[in-house]
Amino acid sequence: MSKEITARSEDYSKWYNDLVLKGGLADYSAVKGCMVIKPYGFALWEAMRDVLDRKFKETGHQNAYFPLFIPKSFLSKEAAHVEGFAKECAVVTHYRLKNDPNGGGVIVDPDAKLAEELIVRPTSETIIWNTYKDWIQSYRDLPLLINQWANVVRWEMRTRLFLRTTEFLWQEGHTAHATAQEAIEETEQMLNIYADFAENYMAVPVVRGLKSPSERFAGAVETYCVEAMMQDGKALQAGTSHFLGQNFAKAFDVQFSNKENKLEYVWATSWGVSTRLIGALIMVHSDDEGLVMPPKIAPIQVVIVPIYKGPDQKAGLDEKVNVIVKELRSAGISVKYDDSDNNRPGWKFAEYEMKGVPVRIAIGARDLENNVAEVTRRDTREKMSLSLDGLPARIAGLLDEIQLNLFNKAKAYRDSHITSVDTFEEFEKVLDEKGGFVSAHWDGTAETEEQIKERTKATIRCIPLNNPQEAGTCILTGKPSKERVLFARAY
Amino acid sequence: MSKEITARSEDYSKWYNDLVLKGGLADYSAVKGCMVIKPYGFALWEAMRDVLDRKFKETGHQNAYFPLFIPKSFLSKEAAHVEGFAKECAVVTHYRLKNDPNGGGVIVDPDAKLAEELIVRPTSETIIWNTYKDWIQSYRDLPLLINQWANVVRWEMRTRLFLRTTEFLWQEGHTAHATAQEAIEETEQMLNIYADFAENYMAVPVVRGLKSPSERFAGAVETYCVEAMMQDGKALQAGTSHFLGQNFAKAFDVQFSNKENKLEYVWATSWGVSTRLIGALIMVHSDDEGLVMPPKIAPIQVVIVPIYKGPDQKAGLDEKVNVIVKELRSAGISVKYDDSDNNRPGWKFAEYEMKGVPVRIAIGARDLENNVAEVTRRDTREKMSLSLDGLPARIAGLLDEIQLNLFNKAKAYRDSHITSVDTFEEFEKVLDEKGGFVSAHWDGTAETEEQIKERTKATIRCIPLNNPQEAGTCILTGKPSKERVLFARAY
């Protein structure tokens, strides 16, 4: 059967959309720019969320919930923040509809105009720091380590499922500290949690680095990021962690009395990852047959498809498979036994390949006689005939192998797509012909960065942490530079 | 120390607010009608959500996520629905702000007016059934069993923390079925899950019943509900489950081809509980000393407070307590060892009483010598000296006892506050002097229901399931009635 997936080589962007839609991850909605996250996509988000949430709690953070709406005036309180966020946003101006006296259905009631417009949160620094003012008086109230799982809205004209949507789901951590040092350590700790999650759960290798000043979060003193590389040679920012200095504390007048009983402004961080990560996951691992899920966050790790003729064979298979299912589950492996008779085995094989289920077990009447099953890995599509004895342990090992293989494969691709160049000509050539990260000298000015972006569509993805210091000259201006930075075209 | 909680007898409403604010559950926000759910309150919501989510999944439901915004025209498609929900809602009319050319900060950009206004979802039937149209073609696509955890907005002028807020958190299940029978069974199944959750986890006894036609969900054929009784004699609706018939399928033209290949409209249900449940939890169990958390959903089940002088005594206690903590945790009990030296033991005792932690263990140097600890139950405030040998098993048993005691106490109160009356005079007297549910005959008309509400502020909470059939006469009109229904003043 044809799964009707566009090949990557033919149209990468269409391939991506095919996987999202046909893999059952998400769907377009009737509201421009907003998506519907379908059950399989949401189960993936839940698996990702559960791992991250555990890591946040293990490092002392607590979840809370702040209002969806932000008074318009709040956005103006931090000067850089309003420039970055206030522009493209959903504005609530009224709080009531009424029946149209002319019979045209329901209309906005002009008498129900808000005195001050409310903005649907694009991010929550302002409403949260306005609240922290009431919660923080003394050094004893610090640190305040809070995270929120929420929906946010940033109005987008051109949208792509998961990668760029008007509404998306995310988590946003907002912490308050007594010293700059402690806040910086928090910022770095959260960056490391994101990197660990990306690499060890999503099997997506990332570069940890700092953003250039022009790419910083609006209102941040320093933005740390993890950057991943997609199969089309474009980069994707997989998470950011911001050291906000005292900017928001000053904007919202949040001071604490220190141990010497003197008032000081509080130091802040914020950090977040979103459903965008699902886009990265798809583009790093999947192939022309469909999605490929890393076992550690796969909604279904193992699918079992029975192959039989008639109810007697089915009953024999059921009996054995139920034992296997039980053993797998008690080993902590999620398994689906798809014995529905709506579809034939071949259809199911294609379906679970499309959905990227890491391991497929097919078992028929003859296999049962021989005490074996046919086991297929999604990553390599390799088939093996495995004994039913000790199968669960073998599957557990196989899932680990797949997880590792996906990471290694992605890392090999990524590593082979970091190219050092020393001239602007080479820079353009690599971007156009090979893609990936381009490591190049830059004179450190926003003007040069902007010119390079205009001419090549490449941006500075990051200045890697622990970057080797190396004297050189800027590829565009020839001015002196003390280190290379990573450029790429990006999502 | 004084915890400064208003006594219930003095001002019940102020008592409630004191508990919410001082117990650290929620706070007012800068946005009128919206609350901040604080970490302790959110941990409680997470505990409730986790139990419900597991029950939903065990009964075959999957989570998904639908857009926050609903096009205005969607609300008008189901006639009753728009009457119920379209009126008090947040309306997004613009998608951009800009700098005020006159220097007045940021203003709404008049050029960024939406062609069709978007409503912030008050509930999601319309956007979901518009999506289901694309997902359902054949009987093979049914049943579709989907749940969503989300924030919703219903504009409120007079708000109360958790009980009535403009934005609140909830879950909304939306299922689609091939037959009316199957949809009704789903509606009843979900009602039973809510009742089980309320009684066996929240320790809140509930009456299961049907709403009268005027109290039905806007767009439902039948609304099932669970109703709880608060300590002030007022009722609170703790969850609803709606049989929607084919109303939404017809409004959004969702048909499926049945096994005979004929087109039929799909049958629907929806069901939900919200953060309002936290309000019920507080008002059923708490006392003048603070919150009282039922062990099964308490964010912290056991708190351990050390009592010591100097670091040597502290070290000895730490060693023993760390063993106890480990044993309790491996028995699945959540425990906090509060060894902070910011506050004295007496302050901590008051603090955890306020927060309603079910069991407090105080342990001092002399206790250690005697191999005992002082254990205090929050529900009865009874103190016991218990041997450290076998303490974890004893604590586990105690938590079960507390859970049961809370339920029994609430049930005794509730049962003693169901009063049968046969005249309108008695009806008013019971409402004013005793409160609770009043079981009375009603002639079955919306007019009588409305008049009773106007005169007494009491509404029909429900017609209990399996209600005994008993001939009588309506308390207001004297017309014949075949069964009693439960009235109450309600939150």
Please judge whether A108 and B117 are an interchain contact, meaning their C-beta atoms are less than 8 angstroms apart: yes
Contact B142, B136 (CB under 8 A): yes
State ipTM: 0.96
The A residues from 35 to 64 touching B (CB cutoff 8 Å) are 35-39, 41-43, 45-46, 62-64
Mean pLDDT: which of B85-89, B155-159, B460-464 is highest? B460-464
Q: Give A151→chain B minimum CA distance, Å.
A: 8
Of B68, B94, B127, the CB nearest to A91: B94
pLDDT 10s digits, B47-72: 999 999 999 999 999 999 999 999 99
Residue of A nearest to B126 (CA): A30
Q: Could you give the 3-state DSSP secondary structure of residue B160?
A: strand
pLDDT 10s digits, B140-194: 999 999 999 999 999 998 899 999 999 999 999 999 999 999 999 999 999 999 9
Q: Give B332→chain A minimum CA distance, Å.
A: 16
Is CATH 3.30.70.2190 correct for B300-397?
no
Cβ contacts of B38 on chain A, cutoff 8 Å: 64
Of A41, A119, A131, the CB nearest to B36: A131
Of A41, A62, A89, the CB nearest to B43: A62
Question: What does the pLDDT read at residue A77?
Answer: 85
Cβ contacts of A88 on chain B, cutoff 8 Å: 95-96
pLDDT 10s digits, B317-364: 999 999 999 999 999 999 999 999 889 999 999 999 999 999 999 999
Residue of A nearest to B166 (CA): A67
Please judge whether A71 and B30 are an interchain contact, meaning their C-beta atoms are less than 8 angstroms apart: yes
Cβ contacts of B42 on chain A, cutoff 8 Å: 62-65
Cβ contacts of A127 on chain B, cutoff 8 Å: 29-31
The amino acid sitting at B283 is: M
Cβ contacts of A131 on chain B, cutoff 8 Å: 27, 29-30, 36
Of B67, B95, B151, the CB nearest to A155: B95
Q: What is the rounded radius of gyration, in angstroms, for the C-alpha atoms of chain B?
A: 26
pLDDT band at B86 (very low <50, low <70, confident <90, very high): low
Please judge whether A68 and B134 are an interchain contact, meaning their C-beta atoms are less than 8 angstroms apart: no
Phi, psi of B80 (to 5 degrees): -70, -35
Of B30, B76, B88, the CB nearest to A95: B88
Q: What is the pTM for the complete model shown?
A: 0.96
The A residues from 331 to 390 touching B (CB cutoff 8 Å) are 342
- Does the structure show a pLDDT above 60 at B443? yes
Mutation for testing the A interface, residue in B25, B65, B100, B109 having most A CBs under 10 Å: B65
**Per this entry, what is the length of chain A?**
491
Alpha helices in B358-423 (DSSP H): 365-370, 391-415
The A residues from 189 to 218 touching B (CB cutoff 8 Å) are none
Q: Give A40→chain B minimum CA distance, Å.
A: 8
Phi, psi of B297 (to 5 degrees): -125, 15
Cβ contacts of B87 on chain A, cutoff 8 Å: 96-98
Residue of B nearest to A157 (CA): B95
Of B38, B74, B96, the CB nearest to A64: B38
Residue carrying the six token digits 């001939």: B471
Please judge whether A64 and B39 are an interchain contact, meaning their C-beta atoms are less than 8 angstroms apart: yes
Q: Give B66→chain A minimum CA distance, Å.
A: 5
Contact B157, B148 (CB under 8 A): no
Question: What does the pLDDT read at residue A226?
Answer: 98
Q: Could you give the 3-state DSSP secondary structure of residue A423?
A: coil
Residues of chain B with CATH 3.30.930.10: 12-69+129-285
Cβ contacts of A45 on chain B, cutoff 8 Å: 65
CA-nearest of B280, B18, B249, B1 to B144 is B249
Cβ contacts of A106 on chain B, cutoff 8 Å: 72, 75-76, 82, 86
Q: CA A127, CA A306: separation in Å to the nearest integer? A: 54
Residue of A nearest to B66 (CA): A36
Please judge whether B91 and A86 are an interchain contact, meaning their C-beta atoms are less than 8 angstroms apart: no
CATH code for B12-69+129-285? 3.30.930.10
Cβ contacts of B91 on chain A, cutoff 8 Å: 92-97, 108
Residue of A nearest to B169 (CA): A65
Q: Which CATH architecture has domain A418-488?
A: 2-Layer Sandwich (3.30)
Residues of chain A with CATH 3.40.50.800: 300-401
Alpha helices in B69-124 (DSSP H): 72-75, 79-85
The B residues from 164 to 193 touching A (CB cutoff 8 Å) are 167, 169
Q: Give A55→chain B minimum CA distance, Å.
A: 16
Residues of chain B with CATH 3.40.50.800: 300-397
Residue of B nearest to A342 (CA): B140
Residue of B nearest to A96 (CA): B88
Residue of B nearest to A60 (CA): B39
Asked if B88 is an interface residue toward chain A (Cβ–Cβ < 8 A), one would say yes
Please judge whether B74 and A30 are an interchain contact, meaning their C-beta atoms are less than 8 angstroms apart: yes
Please judge whether A67 and B96 are an interchain contact, meaning their C-beta atoms are less than 8 angstroms apart: no
Residues of chain A with CATH 3.30.110.30: 418-488
> How large is the average pLDDT for residues B439-465?
98
In A40-181, beta strands by DSSP E: 62-63, 69-71, 88-99, 106-108, 113-120, 144-153, 167-177
Q: CA A446, CA A295: separation in Å to the nearest integer? A: 42
Of A34, A37, A90, the CB nearest to B95: A90
What are the counts of helices (DSSP H) followed by strands (DSSP E) for chain B? 14, 25
Q: Can you give the pLDDT of all 491 residues of chain A as single tens digits?
A: 457 899 999 999 999 999 999 999 999 999 999 999 999 999 999 999 999 999 999 999 999 999 999 999 998 887 777 777 767 999 999 999 988 888 777 899 999 999 999 999 999 999 999 999 999 999 999 999 999 999 999 999 889 999 999 999 999 999 999 999 999 999 999 999 999 999 999 999 999 999 999 999 999 999 999 999 999 999 999 999 999 999 999 999 999 999 999 999 999 999 999 999 999 999 999 999 999 999 999 999 999 999 999 999 999 999 999 999 999 999 999 999 999 988 999 999 999 999 999 999 999 999 999 999 999 999 999 999 999 999 999 999 999 999 999 999 999 999 999 999 999 999 999 999 999 999 999 999 999 999 999 999 999 999 999 999 999 999 999 999 999 999 999 99
Percent of chain B with pLDDT over 70: 99
Q: Which fold has domain A12-79+123-285?
A: BirA Bifunctional Protein; domain 2 (3.30.930)
Q: CA A199, CA A196: separation in Å to the nearest integer? A: 5
Asked if B69 is an interface residue toward chain A (Cβ–Cβ < 8 A), one would say yes
Contact B304, B335 (CB under 8 A): yes
Query: Chains A, B: CB contacts under 8 A, how many?
Result: 187
Class of domain A300-401: alpha beta
Cβ contacts of B67 on chain A, cutoff 8 Å: 29-31, 34-36, 167
**Per this entry, what is the length of chain B?**
491
**How is residue B490 annotated by DSSP?**
B
Residue partners of A485: CB distance under 8 A and separation at least 6: A212, A439, A440, A441, A442, A460, A462, A463, A464, A467
CA angle (B166, B171, B173) in 5-degree steps: 130
Q: CA B280, CA B274: separation in Å to the nearest integer? A: 11
Please judge whether B106 and A43 are an interchain contact, meaning their C-beta atoms are less than 8 angstroms apart: no
Q: How far is CA B403 from CA A469, B54, B276, B327, in A?
A: 63, 20, 21, 21
Question: What does the pLDDT read at residue A325?
Answer: 97
- Does the structure show a pLDDT above 70 at B2? no
pLDDT band at B1 (very low <50, low <70, confident <90, very high): very low
